[in-house]
Amino acid sequence: MSLRDGAAARADGAPATPADGALVRCVNVARTFGTGPTAVVAVHDVSCTVPSGARVALMGPSGSGKSTLLHLIAGLDAPTGGTIAWPGLGAGPNGRPGPIGVIFQGPSLIPTLDVTENVALPLLFAGIPAQDAAARASAALDRVGIADLGPKLPEELSGGQAQRAAVARVIAGRPRLILADEPTGQLDHETGGHVISVLLTAAEELGAALIVTTHDAQIAARLPHRWTMRDGGLATRGAGPGDDRRP
Ligand SMILES: Nc1ncnc2c1ncn2[C@@H]1O[C@H](COP(=O)(O)OP(=O)(O)OP(=O)(O)O)[C@@H](O)[C@H]1O
C-alpha cells in the first residue's frame, strides 16, 4: 500500500473518489505484529468507510484492535494486508494522508513546553511561521475554554485540562478527520463528558469527521454511529439511534 494512494480500488473494483464522500476507505485491512508462532493478529479483514461528517464510537474489549485500527486509519502505521486509501483527504507532507488530528491515550503533552508551545509545535513542524502558529494556538485554546492556561506547564494541569489542551492541539491543525483514542479513559465521568462535548463542538465547527474509541457506553451514546471490534475484526456495525449505515 502506498500512503500516497488516494484512489485505491474499492471492494467493487471502482475507483474511490472524493465525490462519494468517503474520507477513508479500508478494504480487507489486516495488521499482524511479529512473525512465526509469536505473531499477534491485532486486526484482520476489516473493511469500512469513514464518510465526511461521521461521528463514530469505536468500542470493543481490551485488546480487540481498536487502537491498532485507529493508527492505521491515521496513517501512523501501515497494514500488513489489504488497502487503506484516503480518497477525501489526499496526501499531506511526507506522503502521509492529509489533515488528520490524533488524540492519543493518556498524557501526550511535552512536559518542558508550556501549553501554548505544545499546541503550536505541530504547526511549526508544518512550516507555519512562529507568530501565526502562536496566534492559532491561542485561538484553539480559547475554543476549548482554557485560554488562560497557555503559559502553564503540562504538570500544572488537571487531567481534563490536559485533554482539552490535546484537543486544542488537534483543532489548531484544522483537520478534516479527528481520531481520539480513549480520550476520556483517565478522567472521571463528568470531566470525560466535558471533553467529549469539546470534541463534538470542535468537529462540528471544523466540519470534521470524528472517531472516538471508548469503553464507556455513556460516552459512546453521545455519538450516533457505533462500530464494535472483537478479536481484531469489526464485529457489528452502524447501530446508532436511527442509523444503520455500514461502516
Ligand atoms: N506494537 C505492538 N506489538 C505487538 N503487539 C501489539 C502491538 N500493538 C498492539 N499489539 C497487540 O495487538 C492486539 C490489539 O491491541 P490494541 O491496542 O489495538 O487493542 P485495543 O482494543 O485498543 O485495547 P485497549 O482497549 O486495551 O486499548 C493486542 O493483543 C496487543 O497486545
Which residues make beta-bridge pairs with 236?
228
117 occurs within a structural domain: yes
pLDDT at 2: 30
37 occurs within a structural domain: no
pLDDT at 149: 96
CATH label of the domain that carries residue 206: 3.40.50.300
pLDDT at 186: 82
Give residue 40 CA to ligand 1 midpoint distance, Å.
9
40 occurs within a structural domain: no
Give residue 67 CA to ligand 1 midpoint distance, Å.
7
User: What is the number of structural domains in the chain?
Assistant: 1
Which of 31, 33, 35, when mutated, tests ligand 1's pocket best, judged by the most ligand atoms within 8 Å of its CB? 33
100 occurs within a structural domain: yes
What is the rounded distance in angstroms from the CA atom of residue 8 to the CA atom of residue 90? 11
218 occurs within a structural domain: yes
pLDDT at 235: 79
Give residue 65 CA to ligand 1 midpoint distance, Å.
6
Give residue 68 CA to ligand 1 midpoint distance, Å.
6
Q: Which atom of ligand 1 lies nearest, measured to the CA of 232? A: 14
- Nearest-CA residue for ligand 1 atom 3 is 33
Give residue 107 CA to ligand 1 midpoint distance, Å.
18
User: What is the mean pLDDT for each group of 10 consecutive residues in the chain (247 residues)?
Assistant: 29 41 92 95 95 93 96 94 91 73 86 96 93 95 92 94 92 94 87 90 93 93 93 71 45
Contact call for residues 75 and 50 (beta carbons, < 8 A)? no
**Which domain range does residue 217 map to?**
52-75+89-236
pLDDT at 84: 93
Which of 35, 38, 40, when mutated, tests ligand 1's pocket best, judged by the most ligand atoms within 8 Å of its CB? 40
What ipTM was predicted for this assembly?
Answer: 0.98
For ligand 1, which residues put their CB under 6 angstroms from it? Answer: 33, 40, 42, 60, 62-68
Q: Which atom of ligand 1 lies nearest, measured to the CA of 69? A: 18
27 occurs within a structural domain: no
162 occurs within a structural domain: yes
242 occurs within a structural domain: no
